[in-house]
């Protein structure tokens, strides 16, 4: 964008999480001195001659961004500068950004922010917010060394056509840019700043006013109650089956003393000689289990830290950094779990197993990420990740994660294989004709519905925080939902597993992985719905990016739920 640039100031350094999320912080040309009031100070003036093609292109880009309601995001002392305005039923909403400008349509309807001022009334016209009134609230520190701390920064965007850009007076008519305007367009950027002491806000709780204005918490409690009901229902079912049915079956089994009774076995006992037959594609299953364990522990620890408040929105990029570092360090459990299962499936090719565990799932994620990055490079986006960071991520993966996976696998293969309580028969049993709901596909599709029902309200807020730049801070809720999701996945799988073992189908390993893993497919469907109903994304590159990043999330979610 062609706004005022800061001359020769260094860019602030960023952590890994910010770089991965494409957050770039730029120095600002707006200069403040503490407690020094400024009124109507000029920053710079931009002139566009619409007869020159490059100027016209810059102006058209500005107009397009106003049409799409692009926002400025400013930071002072790590606090977002907010624009607070009244919304319905007497509440104030504090937006951590403010629009570049706004547009009045050809039939005179004001769009987005144009409703704030009745002077914006020209048809088919853009109004640019070229003046800001900034108010900085501070709190004088008692009892320590003399000084003051910033507790809030708020602004009001205004639009003025400065008749004398050299000594502006910040009054008069708004700065309008007609859609059909020709000739020269001059935009002077100005600001006013004032300081006000605020005794009531403590420095530690200075984020509260932004978070309080986000009207989400009542929906959250509703969704948690909804999820808990699902969990109680499932737990009841599982308990009933475990206690009543299995108890009855086992008691009946123990009463049989003569051998001729034992011939008339039924249900799940018929398959005892086949239940531990190694699954087809056991290698792939063990690799998925290893990677899934890694992601499960990573999610648990990250959310636990977030609950304790280490990863609040004030630490920019901390969440992503924490997740990546944990993922790298958790190579050992991945290698160990994969090796244990592979050995118990009777596998021999342990080298292939270790290599696949350390490279298959991370490789897919990295390849996807790399392709997305190439698209961002091609588009010249500021979210493109610099080459150095890519090398750093590769180094983390190859030099830390992979050796740790090898160590885990070494211990996994050294231990004795998991002992099975019953011998496996030489000849596989024939599986009888299955009824509709114990067939693999319907069972798997049904299994994913319940876990998805638990999380989909949280998903909406998470997707909003990723794509619509709203702050996400409800980690307590998220941790609860995470625990509920883990329980729901396990219980739904146990139930369906019991049903199809009763129908004498003993291929349970892959089915139990896929039953809860299918939640990821519902997640994908939801993401597609979200794309069409909530986001106005135009252009091929943006669409490919959205779905590319969604596929990464779906894969991680699949391994995690499975």
Q: How confident is the model at residue 407, as a pLDDT? A: 96
Please say if the pLDDT value at position 181 is more than 70.
yes
Give residue 322's pLDDT band: very low, low, confident or very high (50, 70, 90). Answer: very high
Give residue 258's pLDDT band: very low, low, confident or very high (50, 70, 90). Answer: low
Least confident of 245-259, 271-285, 373-387, 398-412: 245-259
Query: What mean pLDDT comes out for the span 467-488?
Result: 85
Query: What mean pLDDT comes out for the span 292-319?
Result: 91
Q: How confident is the model at residue 259, as a pLDDT? A: 52
Please say if the pLDDT value at position 263 is more than 60.
no
Give residue 260's pLDDT band: very low, low, confident or very high (50, 70, 90). Answer: low
Q: What is the DSSP string of 278-330?
A: PPTTHHHHHHHHHHHHHHHHHHHHHHHHHHHTTT-TTSTTHHHHHHHHHHHHT
Angle subtended at Cα 63 by Cα 58 and Cα 65, rounded to the nearest 5 degrees: 95
Q: How confident is the model at residue 430, as a pLDDT? A: 87
Give residue 243's pLDDT band: very low, low, confident or very high (50, 70, 90). Answer: confident
Please say if the pLDDT value at position 554 is more than 80.
yes
Least confident of 221-230, 504-513, 518-527: 221-230
Please say if the pLDDT value at position 484 is more than 70.
yes
Contact criterion met (CB below 8 Å) for 396 and 358: no
Please say if the pLDDT value at position 229 is more than 80.
yes
Contact criterion met (CB below 8 Å) for 551 and 478: no
Contact criterion met (CB below 8 Å) for 136 and 194: yes
Q: What is the DSSP string of 260-274?
A: HHHTS--GGGGGTTT
Query: What mean pLDDT comes out for the span 53-64?
Result: 92
Query: Percentage helix, strand, coil, to 5, in the chain?
Result: 55, 15, 35
Q: How confident is the model at residue 474, as a pLDDT? A: 80
Read off the pLDDT of residues 7-33 as tens digits, 9 standing for 90 and up.
877 888 888 888 888 888 889 999 889
Phi, psi dihedrals of residue 345, rounded to the nearest 5°: -80, 0
Number of neighbours of residue 33 by Cβ within 10 angstroms: 9
**Cα(499)–Cα(512) distance, integer angstroms:** 12
Q: 3-state SS string over 62-125? A: HHHHHHCCCEECCEECCEECEEEEECCCCCEEEECCEECEEEECCCCCECHHHHHCCCCCCCCE
Q: How confident is the model at residue 261, as a pLDDT? A: 55
Q: How confident is the model at residue 3, as a pLDDT? A: 92
Judging by DSSP bridges, how do beta strands 184-197 and 131-140 pair with one another? parallel
Q: How confident is the model at residue 264, as a pLDDT? A: 60
Contact criterion met (CB below 8 Å) for 518 and 529: no
What is the average pLDDT value for the chain, to the nearest integer? 88
Q: Of 439, 445, 412, 414, give the one whose Cα is nearest residue 521.
A: 445
| Distance from the first to the final alpha carbon of the chain | 45
Q: How confident is the model at residue 464, as a pLDDT? A: 87
**Cα(83)–Cα(500) distance, integer angstroms:** 58
**Cα(528)–Cα(303) distance, integer angstroms:** 26
Which is more confidently placed, 530 or 234? 530
What are the distances in angstroms from CA 521 to CA 237, 444, 448, 466? 25, 11, 8, 19
Its pTM stands at 0.88
Which is more confidently placed, 348 or 527? 527
What are the distances in angstroms from CA 329 to CA 34, 271, 337, 404? 44, 41, 15, 7
Query: What mean pLDDT comes out for the span 66-73?
Result: 90
**Cα(348)–Cα(142) distance, integer angstroms:** 70
Give residue 547's pLDDT band: very low, low, confident or very high (50, 70, 90). Answer: very high
Tell me the β-bridge partners of 72: 98
Please say if the pLDDT value at position 6 is more than 90.
no
Read off the pLDDT of residues 400-457 as tens digits, 9 standing for 90 and up.
999 999 999 999 999 988 888 888 888 888 888 888 888 889 989 988 998 998 888 8
Q: How confident is the model at residue 232, as a pLDDT? A: 87
* Residues composing the chain: 562
Which is more confidently placed, 530 or 252? 530
Please say if the pLDDT value at position 131 is more than 90.
yes
Phi, psi dihedrals of residue 468, rounded to the nearest 5°: -105, 10
Please say if the pLDDT value at position 136 is more than 90.
yes
Q: Supply 246's token pair.
A: 């299995």
């Amino acid at each position: 964008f062609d706004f005022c640039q800061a001359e020769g100031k260094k860019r602030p350094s960023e952590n890994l999480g910010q770089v991965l999320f494409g957050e770039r912080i730029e120095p600002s040309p707006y200069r403040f001195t503490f407690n020094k009031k400024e009124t109507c100070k000029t920053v710079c003036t931009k002139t566009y001659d619409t007869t020159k093609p490059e100027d016209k292109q810059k102006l058209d880009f500005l107009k397009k961004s106003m049409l799409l309601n692009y926002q400025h995001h400013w930071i002072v002392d790590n606090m977002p500068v907010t624009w607070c305005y009244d919304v319905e039923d007497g509440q104030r909403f504090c937006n951590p950004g403010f629009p570049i400008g706004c547009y009045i349509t050809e039939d005179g309807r004001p769009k987005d922010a144009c409703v704030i001022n009745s002077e914006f009334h020209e048809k088919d016209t853009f109004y640019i917010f070229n003046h800001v009134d900034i108010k900085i609230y501070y709190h004088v520190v008692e009892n320590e060394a003399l000084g003051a701390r910033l507790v809030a920064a708020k602004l009001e965007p205004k639009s003025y056509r400065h008749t004398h850009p050299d000594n502006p007076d910040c009054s008069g008519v708004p700065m309008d840019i007609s859609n059909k305007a020709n000739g020269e367009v001059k935009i002077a950027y100005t600001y006013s700043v004032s300081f006000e002491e605020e005794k009531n806000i403590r420095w530690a709780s200075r984020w509260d006013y932004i978070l309080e204005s986000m009207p989400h918490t009542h929906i959250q409690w509703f969704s948690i109650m909804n999820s808990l009901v699902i969990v109680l229902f499932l737990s009841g079912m599982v308990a009933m089956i475990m206690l009543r049915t299995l108890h009855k079956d086992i008691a009946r089994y123990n009463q049989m003393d003569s051998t001729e009774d034992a011939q008339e076995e039924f249900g799940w006992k018929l398959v005892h000689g086949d239940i531990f037959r190694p699954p087809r594609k056991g290698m792939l299953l063990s690799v998925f289990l290893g990677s899934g364990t890694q992601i499960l522990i990573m999610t648990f620890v990250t959310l636990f830290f977030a609950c304790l408040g280490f990863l609040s929105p004030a630490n920019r990029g901390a969440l992503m950094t924490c997740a990546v570092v944990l993922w790298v360090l958790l190579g050992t459990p991945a290698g160990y779990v994969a090796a244990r299962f592979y050995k118990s499936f009777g596998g021999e090719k342990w080298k292939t197993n270790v290599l696949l565990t350390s490279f298959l799932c991370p490789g897919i994620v990295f390849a996807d990420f790399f392709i997305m990055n190439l698209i961002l490079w091609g588009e010249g986006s500021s979210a493109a990740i610099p080459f150095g960071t890519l090398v750093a991520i590769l180094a983390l993966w190859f030099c830390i994660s992979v050796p740790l996976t090898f160590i885990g696998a070494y211990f996994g293969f050294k231990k004795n294989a998991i002992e099975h309580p019953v011998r496996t028969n030489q000849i596989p049993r024939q599986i009888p004709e299955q009824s509709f709901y114990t067939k693999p596909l319907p069972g798997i599709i049904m299994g994913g519905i319940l876990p998805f029902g638990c999380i989909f309200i949280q998903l909406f807020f998470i997707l909003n925080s990723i794509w619509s730049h709203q702050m996400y801070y409800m980690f307590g809720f998220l941790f609860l939902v995470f625990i509920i999701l883990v329980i729901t996945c396990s219980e739904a799988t146990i139930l369906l597993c019991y049903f199809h073992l009763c129908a004498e189908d003993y291929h349970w390993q892959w089915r139990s992985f896929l039953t809860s893993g299918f939640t990821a497919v519902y997640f994908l469907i939801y993401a597609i719905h979200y794309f069409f109903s909530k986001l106005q994304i135009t252009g091929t590159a943006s669409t490919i990016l959205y779905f590319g990043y969604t596929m990464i999330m779906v894969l991680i979610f699949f391994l995690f739920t499975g």
